[in-house]
Every structure is written in structure tokens, then in C-alpha cells.
Amino acid sequence: MMEHENVVQTLATLVANDALLIGEATAPFCTDWRGRFFGKAIAVVFPADVQQVSAVVKFCAAHHIAIVPQGGNTSLCGASVPLADGSKQIVINLSRMNRIRALDAINYTMTVEAGCKLASLYEAAEQQDRLFPLGLTAIAPHCEIGGNLSTNAGGIGVLRYGNARDLVLGLEVVLPDGRIWNGLRSLRKDNTGYDLKHLFIGAEGTLGIITAAVLKLFPRPKSVATACIAVRDPAAAVALLSHLRATCGDQISGFEIISRSCLDLVFKNITDTNEPFASKHEWIVIAKLADVLQVPLNEILREALNSFGGGIIEFEITAIEEHAERWWKLRKNISDAQKIEGISIKHDISVPISRVAEFIAQASTALRKAYPGIRIVAFGHLGDGNIHYNASMLDVSQNNVFIEQHEHEVNRIVYEVVAKFDGSISAEHGLGQLKREEITHYKSELELELMRNIKRAIDPQGLMNPGKVI
């Protein structure tokens, strides 16, 4: 096996010295966004194109060096950082590969490299009067599309547009042996065998490195109405969602629920944030609808307010983007506000929409019984059944000890409720390192066997992002 110095020298010839980091300079790329996982790497390399990625991977495969693919390093489950076990591994960061190769406004597609920041894709589509709808919140300014696809990211637009998986027509992937699969097809219909792109979307870099993608675009809405609605409880929010879908159909593009504990954290830690109503409420919903006029939406919500037995308390509607952004700021800053007070036990779960209220009620009752005084931060994408359900102690000084001693039991309590409702313990963040062992309790042996078989078939040496997912 090659010595580290020889590995570094060879990598420098493949990507150039100024595209290579070693030693202490690698630390920011070996630490995850939450500050929860810390790893070690021989080097971090920044390839400029797919040929350089291929060359680096071929070298690593020949010398049995593990590879951690990385984009914006915004993973919430430790998938984008190397392991801390001292194993021989490098990070391949794709941030330099940030070109938009093509944008076909007539075909409603754009072909982009993996290092493109999500925000740049919004702007490029908008310049052609098109929409790219992958609507992430807290990490959107930093995340890159390769990582979004590798984790099958969700966000606030799933209700109308689907997950990242639903927004991809084709991929370019560097396989674990360094070969390049060019599947950059921009076809809506291609029924010629296995749809290979879906193996790599959501695989968290364990089967190969996504280097480019053909993404779907959509017409830009001619108008957008945003409503902030105070509701009595999650059950009322579920009923309201059903009412809106019956009356507005697919014009609903976002439906987010936020609990009082989230709002209190945001008001405490994020500047220029205010209560959305004159009175405090335990739960609010932010709903975004496209091509719906304010007046009909006002009538629809007024009907709900009068018909839901007090479940809908009050609401406001705006078509002015700046006004809506004040409400969205409350939602977008929940994770940052909570992070200021230390790490928490995060759960990114999904259950059928009809069971969301029951999940929140039953999980909260069980946790508060086991841990009096626990703080539950519940929020998220009610429109698609995905709730971010985080637990920590109100006293920040107790948090680290609480997590160290009780994380396993807290997870067990929450995930048992998820399993009861046939839900998933990871809706959009992936498994990474955080849930790699947990998933073995909630997938069947057959599912795990099939996943392992796919991994062995595509990555027989086990070099692609080891220690993650499976």
C-alpha cells in the first residue's frame, strides 16, 4: 500500500497542487455541518471536470483508498465527511465543477454539474422564465445539486413537484472503478430497460459519484399567494390541508407546520423576527399556492375558519414577496436557531399525512413521560408527511450529557411510533453515519440483503463512502 506522501504527490499530478488540501487545511471538509461528526482524510481534492474525477477514482481503486464524495458538506447525518477510524480515505469535493452546461427552455431542462449551488440553478432558470422547484430552506445557500441528488433531497416543494428523484431525467456518474457512465438524457420517455439513474439518486455516494445531471424545469407561476394560518393543533392543520387540496388541487406547492417551541427558539436567537399575529399561538402553518388569487384564497380560508370548530384560529394572506419572506424567515431559521443552543437528537421522519397528528401526539406523550422537561422541536413538511422532530433539554448545559446517555432510548421511543404508522425513520436527510445501524431494525432482512447485493455488485472493493448507509 502506498505511503501517504506518495498518495499526495500522485493526487497533485492529477488535479494540480492548488486543487489539493492536506494536513490541518482539510479540517473544515472533515467536519459536518452540525458539528456532530469529525473525520480524517489523507487529502481533499477538488477536480475541475469529470475526467479528473475519473482519474482520481481510478488511482484510488488501484491502491485501495476509500473515497468520500462531497458537495457543499451540508449533510445532517454525517454522510459527506470521512470516518474518524483512521482508515485510508480521501475526500473528493466537487465544488469546482459548477458549470451549467446547457439550458433548453423549450424542452424545460437544464444540464448542470454537481458543484452548482442550488441558488445558482434558481437564478439560471428564472432568467429563462422557468422554475427549478427544489425548495430547501436552512442550507439552501450552501448546498450543491450533487449532494441534493445523492440524498434525494426533499424540501418545501415536494407536495407539488416531488423529491429530487422526481426532478431528474439523466445523470453522469463516475463509477467506483473510475469509468464514466454518461446517462445525460433529456427524454421524458425512455423505456429501454433498467432506469439506472435511480440507483445513484439517494445512495449518498456509496455507489458512485454524480458529476452532472439533466434536471426538469417548470413554468414559472404567474402569481403566488402565501398564507400564514394559526391552527389549534396538528390535527386541525391536517384537516386544513385536506380542505385546500380539495379546493385548490395541485396549486398548493408548500404546506409547512411550525410549533411554538420552534418559534420561541427563532425569536430568541435570530434577529429581525417577530410574531406573525398579535396573539401567540401554539401552532402555525405557512401555505404557498401558485396561480391562486388572494380573494378566492381568502374565501377558502374564511370557510375553513367558520367550519372547522375552532381548529382554524386566524390567518393572513399576502401576494407581496417581502411580506411572505417575513413568515418564511421563521421557518427557514429553525435549524440555525436550534443549533445555537447546541446539538439535538434529530429525527427526520415521515408517516402517511393522515397520521401526522397522531404521530406527534403519541411520540410527544411518550417522550415527556420518559423525560419530564424535555424540549420537543417539531416542524416541517406536513404537506408530504415529513416532520422534523428534534429533542433536547431546555437547559443547554444538560444537553451533551442528555444526548450521550439517552440518544438511543429517545430514538427507540420515536421510531417505534413511526413504525407503528408504517413510516420511515429518514424522509429526506438520508442515513449517513447517523442512522446506519438504526435502519437495520426497520427494514426487512430481504431489503437489506438486496441493498448489500447492489453495493457489492457496483462497488466490490467497498471504497465508495464506506461506513455510510449500509
Dist. CA 179–CA 75, nearest whole Å: 26
Q: For residue 445, is it within any domain? A: no
Q: Which CATH number do you get for residue 48? A: 3.30.43.10
Q: Which CATH number do you get for residue 374? A: 3.30.70.2740
Is residue 26 domain-shared with residue 70, that is, in the same domain?
yes
Q: Checking DSSP bridges between strand 89-93 and strand 66-70, what pairing results, if any?
A: parallel
Give the pLDDT band of residue 339 (cuts 50, 70, 90).
confident
Q: For residue 460, is it within any domain? A: no
Is residue 324 domain-shared with residue 298, that is, in the same domain?
yes
Q: Which domain-ending residue is among 420, 436, 465? A: 420
Give me the pLDDT at residue 295, please.
75
Is residue 214 domain-shared with residue 325, that is, in the same domain?
no
User: What is the number of structural domains in the chain?
Assistant: 4
Q: For residue 315, is it within any domain? A: yes
3-state class (DSSP) for residue 221: coil
**Residue 419 above 70 pLDDT?**
yes
Is residue 206 domain-shared with residue 128, that is, in the same domain?
yes
Between the alpha carbon of residue 43 and those of residues 78, 85, 205, 307, the distances in Å are: 18, 15, 18, 62
Give the pLDDT band of residue 139 (cuts 50, 70, 90).
low
Dist. CA 68–CA 86, nearest whole Å: 14
**Residue 181 above 90 pLDDT?**
yes
Is residue 211 domain-shared with residue 126, that is, in the same domain?
yes
**Residue 390 above 80 pLDDT?**
yes
42 burial (CB, 10 Å; 0-12 / 13-18 / 19+) is: buried
What are 231's three cell numbers?
Answer: 391552527
Per the structure, the complete domain to which residue 385 belongs is given by 341-420
Between the alpha carbon of residue 113 and those of residues 50, 177, 458, 465, the distances in Å are: 9, 20, 22, 20
Q: For residue 305, is it within any domain? A: yes
Give me the pLDDT at residue 4, please.
76
Is residue 199 domain-shared with residue 279, that is, in the same domain?
no
Give me the pLDDT at residue 86, please.
73
Give me the pLDDT at residue 34, please.
78
Give me the pLDDT at residue 396, please.
79
Q: For residue 454, is it within any domain? A: no
Give me the pLDDT at residue 6, please.
87
Q: For residue 181, is it within any domain? A: yes
Is residue 193 domain-shared with residue 145, that is, in the same domain?
yes
Q: For residue 459, is it within any domain? A: no
pLDDT in tens, 312-321: 999 999 999 9
Share of the chain above pLDDT 70, in %: 99
**Residue 1 above 60 pLDDT?**
no
**Residue 47 above 60 pLDDT?**
yes
Give the pLDDT band of residue 33 (cuts 50, 70, 90).
confident
Give the pLDDT band of residue 138 (cuts 50, 70, 90).
low
The phi and psi torsions of 268 (rounded to 5 degrees) equal: -75, -35
Q: For residue 436, is it within any domain? A: no
**Residue 408 above 90 pLDDT?**
yes
Q: Which domain-ending residue is among 219, 247, 263? A: 219
Q: Which domain-ending residue is among 65, 93, 121? A: 93
More confident residue, 127 or 249: 127
**Residue 452 above 70 pLDDT?**
yes
Which pTM does this prediction carry? Answer: 0.93
**Residue 23 above 80 pLDDT?**
yes
